[in-house]
């Protein structure tokens, strides 16, 4: 069974602070995706990283895929209340058979 462990599980910070969320596995994935989910809605894709060592930036969010394609991180700079939500990483298994989701990180950014 392929597992993706996220840390931390919960994060409560003040507006303007920086944070990093980690997503780790012992398995290799074809690619890794990051989603954000808000209450009452389905997850929304933020980014897909495909190449080991790849770094992608989306405004204040920076995503990195580990060299061995087993882990990833999400760094948010100067967090804002609008960043509040559940962040999920998801690995696409080799052969594109299915998506394995991480355990989730619930982020609360207070004004």
Partner 1 sequence: KAGVTQTPRYLIKTRGQQVTLSCSPISGHRSVSWYQQTPGQGLQFLFEYFSETQRNKGNFPGRFSGRQFSNSRSEMNVSTLELGDSALYLCASSPSPLGLETQYFGPGTRLLVL
Q: Per-residue b/e over 79-98, b at no fewer than 16 CB within 10 Å? A: beeebbbebbbbbbeeeeee
101 part of the interface to partner 1, by CB under 8 A? yes
Among 11, 79, 100, 109, binds partner 1 (CB under 8 A): 100
48 part of the interface to partner 1, by CB under 8 A? yes
Here's the x/- map for partner 1, 2-31, by CB under 8 A: it reads as ----------------------------xx
40 part of the interface to partner 1, by CB under 8 A? yes
Helix, strand and coil content of the chain, in percent to the nearest 5, comes to: 5, 55, 45
Size of the site for partner 1 (CB under 8 A): 23
Query: What are 40's two structure tokens?
Result: 């009452």
- Residue 68 contacts residue 87 (beta carbons within 8 Å): no
Among 59, 82, 96, 111, binds partner 1 (CB under 8 A): 96
- Residue 71 contacts residue 25 (beta carbons within 8 Å): yes
* Residues contributing to the site for partner 1 (CB under 8 A): 1, 30-31, 40-45, 48, 88, 90, 92-93, 96-104
């Amino acid at each position: 069974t392929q597992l993706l462990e996220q840390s931390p599980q919960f994060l409560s910070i003040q507006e303007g602070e920086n944070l990093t969320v980690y997503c780790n596995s012992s398995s290799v994935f074809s690619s890794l995706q990051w989603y954000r989910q808000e209450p009452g809605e389905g997850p929304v894709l933020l980014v897909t990283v495909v190449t080991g060592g790849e770094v992608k930036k989306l405004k204040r969010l920076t995503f990195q895929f580990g060299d061995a394609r087993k882990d990833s991180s999400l760094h948010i700079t100067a967090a804002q209340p609008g960043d509040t939500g559940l962040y999920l990483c998801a690995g696409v298994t080799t052969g594109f058979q299915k998506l394995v989701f991480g355990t989730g990180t619930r982020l609360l950014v207070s004004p």
